[in-house]
Amino acid sequence: MTATTGLRVLVVDDHDVVHWGFRLLLDRQSWVESCDGAAGLQEAVEFAANLRPDVALIDLMLGADSGAEACSAIREVSPNTKVLLISGAGRISPAVARSAGASGFISKDWGAADVVKAVRMIALGSEVFAEGGPGDSVGLSDREREVLGLIATGATNREIAGNLFLSPHTVKEHTSAIYRKLGVRNRAEAVRSAQGLGLLG
C-alpha cells in the first residue's frame, strides 16, 4: 500500500537475541521485503555494499566498535541507506547521531510497534530523534489536523472535500501528508495514532 516495492532492512547488532528479535519483528511486516543481519562492523559494511538496504538498524554498543562509526561506514558505501541508531542503556545526543549521518535514534525499550513505526517513518524520509519517547510533536499543519478530525468521523475524502470546500484531490494530498508525518499507512491507523497522541478530541 505505501510500498510500491518492499523495503530492504539491515539489522546490525552483536547480540543474537536482539538481532533475531528485530528480524522476526520486521519480517512480519508486509512492507518489508527482506531483513538481513550483521554482527559486526565489517560484516555490516559488506552487506550494505551488496544489498543497498533502505534502512539499517544499528546498535550503539557494537562490542568494540561504535555504532556511530558503523553508521558513517555504511553510509559511505551505500549513501541511500537511512540509518536508525538504537541505544541499549547509553544515551547519545541527536547532534552526534546526525553528524554521523543517522536519520533517527531510538531506545531499545520502545515497544515493538513503535520501533516498527520508526523504521517506516525513516524509510519514508522523516527523522526520528527520541527525546522523551515516541511521537513527540508530529507537526501537523492546521489544515491537516482539520482533515484528520474528519477522517476520524468516518468521512470519505469526497465528504471532507465538501465540508472544507476543497477538491477531493487536495484532500488526498493532506491525507498523504498526515500518513507520512504520523508514520502510518492508512486512515484506520492514522486515527489510532492520532488518538494516542491526543490530536483528537
Partner DNA sequence: CGTCAAACCCCCCAAAAGGGGGGTGCGAAT
Partner DNA sequence: ATTCGCACCCCCCTTTTGGGGGGTTTGACG
Footprint on this chain of a second copy (rule: CB under 8 A): 1, 30, 113, 151-154, 156, 159, 162, 184-192, 195, 200
Q: Which does 170 bind (CB under 5 to 8 A by kind): DNA, a second copy, none?
A: DNA
Nearer to a second copy among residue 81 and residue 175 (C-beta): 175
- Quote the CA–CA distance of 124 and 82 in Å, as a whole number: 10
- Distance between CA atoms of residues 64 and 20, nearest Å: 20
Quick check: helix, strand or coil at residue 128? strand
Applying CB under 7 A, the span of 12-20, 48-56, 130-138, 181-189 interacting with DNA comes to: 181-189
Q: Coil, strand, or helix at residue 80?
A: coil
Angle between helices 168-182 and 187-197 (to 10 degrees): 60
Stretch that binds DNA, among 19-27, 36-44, 111-119, 152-160 (CB under 7 A): 152-160
Q: What is the smallest separation between the CB atom of 198 and a second copy, expressed in angstroms?
A: 12
83 near 105, Cβ under 8 Å? no
State the nearest-atom distance from the C-beta of 20 to a second copy, in Å.
20
Residue 200 contact partner, candidates a second copy, DNA, none, CB within 5 to 8 A by sort of partner: a second copy
Q: Is residue 72 part of the contact set for DNA (CB under 7 A)?
A: no
Q: Which residues contact 6 (CB under 8 A, 6 or more apart)?
A: 30, 31, 32, 33, 34
Place of cell 544515551: 91
Give the number of other Cβ atoms within 10 Å of residue 128's Cβ. Answer: 24
The DSSP symbol for 57 reads E
* Interaction of residue 172 with DNA, rule CB under 7 A: yes
Selected from 49, 167, 192, 195, the binder of DNA by CB under 7 A is 167
Chain residues in the site for DNA (CB under 7 A): 1-2, 4, 139, 141-144, 155-158, 161, 164-170, 172-177, 179, 185-187
